[in-house]
Amino acid sequence: MKRKKTLLLALALTLCLCLAACGNKDSATLKVAASSTPHAEILEQVKEDLAKEGIDLQVTEYSDYIVPNTAVEDGLEDVNFFQHKPYLDNFNTERGTHLTSVAAIHYEPFGIYPCRVKSLDDLPDGATIAVPNDVTNEARALQLLEANGLIKLREGAGLEATPNDIVENPKNLIFKELEAAMMTTVTTEVDLAAINGNYALQAGFSSANDALAIEAADSDAAQTFANIIVVKEGNENNPAVKSLIKALQSDKIKQYILDTYQNNVLPVF
């Protein structure tokens, strides 16, 4: 009898271990670092869809452009969703990180917004313009200013352009270089501000109604600066990551983006 009880106990324990193993196999936690608007808001729309697949999507919001990348590099987060590929490529080069893009989701038109000056035509000599201080977004701002006839850049400056590459500056514009997240906080201190789409949204600005100039929706920038899903190299084939991409690149999310953000955010899939 004692031997029988021991055998039954062993079988019960084995069954429990098997069930636990099956449960772990069928469920997963996916940690995503994201900017609050629109990235985290978009991610919220796919939480239930992923939960049905046994994936617990945990979104942590960040207000800067540095920590979301270092967190993925260090394994504190599995994925991030906040940046475009030129920024990612530059980040990898400068910091020696091993991050890679696995999907493009949307595009946020970059804009020049009024501050103390309300029109490009009224821009005075010696006006101050706030621009992001990271390489790719600063170049993007300068290219937009060039497209609107305010400056001329050195030929070939491309996505590494800085104010040092300006060869013509007829209005003697002064550039105030700040972290991208700070652009909307200095509107009383500068004449114009070049603002990334997500930060403009957070501040309640509309690229369609408020911006004095924006990148064209059919421009090369729409693809070049599409916001991407990023993982550390080696995690590209993670099943949970693939499920996330499938959920984000769905008709449901495309319609959500169009209905919620109108021209401020545009799907690219």
Domain parsing of the chain, residue ranges:
26-108+224-267, 111-214
For residue 2, pLDDT over 70 is answered with no
Tens digit of each residue's pLDDT (9 = 90 or more) over 131-165: 999 988 899 899 999 999 999 999 999 888 999 99
3-state secondary structure of 261: helix
Q: Is the model's pTM score more than 0.85?
A: no
What is residue 213's predicted lDDT score, i.e. its pLDDT? 94
Residue 8 has pLDDT above 60, yes or no: no
For residue 139, give the nearest of 203, 199, 86, 66 by alpha carbon.
86
Distance CA 3, CA 5 (A): 5
Cβ atoms of 107 and 216 closer than 8 Å: no
- pLDDT (average), residues 208-223: 80
All residues at 6 or more sequence positions from 155 whose CB lies less than 8 Å from its CB, including other chains: none
Which CATH architecture group holds 26-108+224-267? 3-Layer(aba) Sandwich (3.40)
Q: Give residue 7's pLDDT.
A: 44
Confidence band for 197, pLDDT divided at 50, 70 and 90:
confident
Domains 26-108+224-267 and 111-214 share a fold: yes
Question: Which of 6-15, 23-32, 186-195 shows the lowest per-residue confidence on average (mean pLDDT)?
Answer: 6-15
Position with higher pLDDT, 159 vs 83: 83
What is d(CA 195, CA 42) in angstroms, rounded to the nearest whole number? 20
| Per-residue confidence (pLDDT) for residue 37, from 0 to 100 | 92
| % of residues, the chain, pLDDT over 90 | 74
The CATH code for residues 111-214 is: 3.40.190.10
Spatial contact of 257 and 265, defined as CB atoms under 8 Å apart: yes
pLDDT at 142: 95
